[in-house]
Structure 1
Amino acid sequence: MWSVMQKVFIAAVVAGVLALAVSFSPAEARISTADAAARAQERFDGQVVDVDLDDDDDDGVKIWVYEIKLLTRDNVIIKVKINADTGAFIEAKGDNLIPYIRRPKS
C-alpha cells in the first residue's frame, strides 16, 4: 500500500505535469492531455506520473502521440502510447503487464 505522503506526492506531480503539458500542447493534438491520461488508466491500473506529447515516426508517417507513464501499486512503471489525434491506444510496455490490465466495462 502507498503511504499518504506517496499519494500526495504523486497527486502533486500529476497536477504539475498535466498543467505543463496542456500549456505546451501543439495545435495538432486533438484530444487533451487529461483525456489521454484517462484513456491510459481505462486500460491499466496505475497512477499517472508523467505525460509527454511527442511526435512519433510510425512506418515513415509522423504522428503525435501521448506517452503516459503509470505507476502501479507494486511500483511497476507502465508506459502507454495514445494517438493524440484519434485517442486510439497504440501500445503499452512494462514488466508483467497482465496483473494491471483493466477489463472493459460492459
Structure 2
Amino acid sequence: MSSRTDDAPGDRVRLTAWVHGRVQGVGFRWATRCRALELGLAGSATNYPDGRVLVIAEGPPAAVAALLDWLRGGGTPGAVRTVVADRGPARGLGEGFARR
C-alpha cells in the first residue's frame, strides 16, 4: 500500500462504485469510510433511496484498487450483491471521507 506522499499528483485516480445489496442501515458507509481513510483516500459514501450506496474515492491507483477489492470481498457489513465500478482521472476531492 502506498501513501499519498509517495505518489505524484498526476498519479491519483477516481473510483465511482455503485454498491448493490443490503448495504443501508448496517454500518456499511461507516466501515467504508474507515477503510478508505486507512488507505489514504478522499471521497464519500452516499445512501440512495433505491437502497444502493454510491462510493466515490480518489487516491493512488493501488489504494483505490484495494478499496474496490474490499468492497467486493465479502468482509463488509451487510450483504453486498454486486459492485458496478468505473475508474478515471481524479478530480481533486481534497482531504477526508464523508458519509452522506
User: When the two structures are superposed, what TM-score results if normalisation uses the length of structure 2?
Assistant: 0.32
| TM-score (norm. length: structure 1) | 0.30
Q: Which has the larger radius of gyration?
A: 1
Q: Which has the higher helix share?
A: 1
